[in-house]
Structure 1
């Protein structure tokens, strides 16, 4: 029994050894073959077809050749006038449109274009008229007060001051006379007292009279000095201050009246502005509204503000086309560049006259695509009207005799750009370096030569390549599973023997 187990163990060991030897043999054979082909200089084009190629007749191809290539930008634009007469709202604040002429109407000078609601303006006229009358009455009072203040200084100097001065001067003379008389009586009474004709009481009475006369004289002198030095000057300063205040009040009232009358007159003019008439004959159109709006900004019932453009009168002798250029291409557009403008019934040659430095607003209505406005001048035509759609072609570059391939032949990966080139009966992948191009052809700077054939459907070639690799990967997986099972069987019997 032990001999049979030993025989089975030897047989299993020999089978595992033979499996490993076959795997090593095929690995060395395949690896050596690939290495030899690679080192022999054939490169990827010699050995890759067997694994990554696809029989050529199943796919359309393009013959690489040199050709002339024009790089252009094609965008949809709008015809507009280069010079527009703007019809604006001249009424302050917000007003309601009660009538507006239809766009596209040919008008004559003096024709009514827009009517605005007048109720708010009429109320303003009534209010400012009342305020003007009140301000006029206030001004008249200020003028009368000023005239009084102009007379006040002369009236004081020639009236009150002069009267008071004369009164004090008269009192001063009387006081001096009284003092002299009292002193004379005192001297006589003393002489008579020394002679014994009068008593001491009479002398003392005369002395008191002299003292009182002196005090009265001092009071009058003080009043006169205060009048001339202080009272007069104080009254003059007060009068002059009141005069200046009256002048300022008059000027303020004049300004207030002018403001009220200005508001009234402005409201009267705005009443006239509520009816907007054409200043010349011509075509009338609506201004362009925001891209996301379905209706124009100015319609009957809409509110408009001061200086808002209500209508345009374009000059049809000076026309242009406005077109939006994507931000990725705007750097290649410059003033003076030639442009071809295609209309419904004609083709015009134009030139770029302006390139915007700021992008037009982007939003959900534009798919958040950022574009810059470019203006193209075109020659005048009789049937050219604002608002027409135009297709604009801008020539960015022109190349002669360059190697080019169709855009459809190029695929891109993290490693770069490549295409599938026909070699015999198969297509092989080849990296390429691309240059400029348009929507149809791309310039090839490196990687292709004239006469090469490239696949027009690289995705189909890669799909077929995946189908070719699947059996090889399945066979390889099968061999790996078989080797794993045999190794497991060998390991299990060894354990059993133990």
Structure 2
């Protein structure tokens, strides 16, 4: 099939409005020039037109403030945390650093005797086995020394009253026999001498009997000296030796017993520490974690974490004695004293109370707090149901109350070395006024003199410094620094 021819829809040059192509292009150029000229004229008119007066424009930003006479309450508002005034602290009693293997959840309600924390006991069990071994060895040595002391205590009287007497009697018996032999020898010698004189005995027999007498005499003398030495020296030496051995044995027993007592004490402490690896609830109540430092990313106690001796593991707060702790900025702390009225808001519920204590030392600051120095302030709460530690509370401290006073915003006052000034809106122009100021907060200042009620003051006084008449352009270029609060109450958040 051959393609079907399509007729050309573009008109011929002679059909386009009946104008030649050159004249058509020229008309478009003139139209563009006219549009550009119109836009430029409109922009010039907008820029050169004077702006409306800012202080008279009620629908725009307000740059003037009508001075009222009102009752003013000056307050400091801070966010605080509810806590218990009386906490039962559960403290770690195990020395060193120990790993937490299990811990109860914060906010759990427990009964007396419930397990709250479990610590790793592997190292403690090894210590118990080691201490038990040394305690048994030491006790065995102490018992052996004790037996030796008893034996030596019996040895002293046994020798003094037993062996010494027996040996002395044996020596005395030997001496008596020797003396009897000596007398017999002497009699034999005397008989032989008499017989020799009569011619019946020889001289040889006399000499033999003389030798026997001399020998018997020497034996008797030796036994006498031995008995004297035995009773004088040998007895005392033996008694001293036995007494010395007894003293040594008693000292060894004391040392062994002390060593055994020390090892047993170490073992008993290890056993007690093993019991302390399980922390139980001392009473019924609520259990919470201690407040961790702001720079920490997790609580001080957690599964897998390490705890040390005397560390507070958990708290059991007394829910009948609750309080709020807030931090007061150092610039406001001089205005806060114990007994100051306070209003605490908890979830829409307001409680009227007072400050009970103000810290004398500021809490430590750091980069995590922006290096802001604050003082802990305690506000007592009445006993009410539903109060729990950790709840957020808005605390409004009523610093002072003033009746029927004139107030102006802080932005309307210019303080210099010559005093405080403001500019009052008059028909003829702004009028400078010297002011006597009273108490103030971050929003309003009490004016004691210098202004009258219902006068209007400018909120941008710096725009009129050094000028006699206000310049609307300057006034309109200066935005309001602060919107005044409602005429009943002002709050300061430090």
Aligned mate of 1:325, from 323, 328, 338: 328
Residues 84, 318 of structure 2: 8 Å contact kept: yes
Question: Could you tell me which of 429, 432, 442 is aligned with 1:428?
Answer: 432
Structure 2 residue corresponding to 1:147, chosen from 143, 146, 150: 150
Describe the shift of the 1:139–1:429 C-alpha distance in structure 2 as closer, same or farther (beyond 3 A). Answer: same
1: distance between equivalents of 2:94 and 2:68? Answer: 69
Equivalent in the alignment of 1:80:
83
Indicate how the Cα distance of structure 1 residues 215 and 455 shifts in structure 2: closer, same or farther if over 3 A, else same: farther
2:71 is equivalent to residue 71 of structure 1:
no
- 1:56, 1:429 → 2: CA distance? 21
Q: Aligned equivalents of 2:186 and 2:373: distance in 1?
A: 116
Asked if 1:450 is matched to 2:452, the reply is yes
TM-score by length of 1: 0.68
TM-score under structure 2 length normalisation: 0.68
Q: Aligned pair 1:409/2:412, yes or no? A: yes
For the 8 Å contact 1:186–1:210, the answer to whether it is kept is no
The partner residue of 2:356 within 350, 353, 356 is: 353
On the 8 A contact 1:419/1:455 being kept in 2, the answer is: no
Task: Find the counterpart in structure 2 of residue 369 from structure 1.
Answer: 372
Out of 393, 398, 403, the position equivalent to 1:395 is 398
- Pick the aligned partner of 1:95 from 69, 77, 98: 98
Q: CA deviation at 1:186?
A: 12
What displacement does 1:277 show?
A: 3.2
Q: CA RMSD in A?
A: 4.3
CA drift of 1:326 comes to 2.4
Gaps in structure 1 of 5+ consecutive residues: 1-54, 192-197, 469-498
Cα distance in 2 for partners of 1:108, 1:393 equals 37
User: Which digits, 9 at most, give the CA deviation of each residue in 1:446-472, with x for residues without a partner?
Assistant: x6243465432223334978998xxxx
Q: Distance in 2 between matches of 1:90 and 1:278?
A: 14
2:385 alignment counterpart: 382
Bigger share in helix: 1
**Cα distance, 1:223 vs structure 2:** 5.8
Is the Cα–Cα contact under 8 Å of residues 181 and 216 in structure 2 kept in the other structure? no
Distance 2:469 2:157 in 1: 120
Does residue 252 in structure 1 map to residue 255 in structure 2?
A: yes
- Please say if residues 56 and 425 of structure 1, whose CA atoms lie closer than 8 Å, have aligned partners that are also in contact: no
- In structure 2, do the counterparts of structure 1 residues 313 and 190 end up closer, same or farther at CA, with 3 Å as the change threshold? same
Local SS of the residue matching 2:296: coil
* Contact 2:423–2:461 (Cα < 8 Å) also in 1: no
Unaligned runs of 5+ residues in structure 2 are: 1-52, 57-61, 195-201, 472-494
Deviations 1:101-136 (A, max 9, x none): 222223344443222212112112211221222122
> CA offset at residue 142 of structure 1?
1.2
Moved more, 110-119 or 318-327: 110-119
Task: Give me the whole-angstrom Cα distance separating, in 1, the residues matched to 2:387 and 2:364.
Answer: 28
Q: Is the CA contact 1:97–1:299 (under 8 Å) kept in the aligned structure 2?
A: yes
Question: 1:153: how far off?
Answer: 0.8
Task: Compute the displacement of 1:427 (Å).
Answer: 3.5
Change (3 A) 1:188 1:438: farther
| SS state at 1:120 partner | helix
Q: What's the offset of the Cα at 1:296?
A: 0.6
The CA deviation at 1:394 is 1.6
Q: Alpha carbons of 1:438 and 1:143: their partners in 2 closer, same or farther (altered >3 Å)?
A: same
Change (3 A) 1:408 1:137: same
C-alpha distance in 2 between matches for 1:212 and 1:253 = 56
How many residues of Structure 1 are paired with residues of Structure 2 in the alignment?
Answer: 409
- Identify if the C-alpha distance between structure 1 residues 425 and 244 changes in structure 2 by more than 3 Å, giving closer, same or farther: same
Cα distance 1:239–1:337, how it changes in 2: closer, same or farther (>3 A)? farther
Match in the other structure for 2:420: 418
**Alpha-carbon distance, 1:405 to partner:** 2.9
Q: Distance in 2 between matches of 1:151 and 1:283?
A: 66
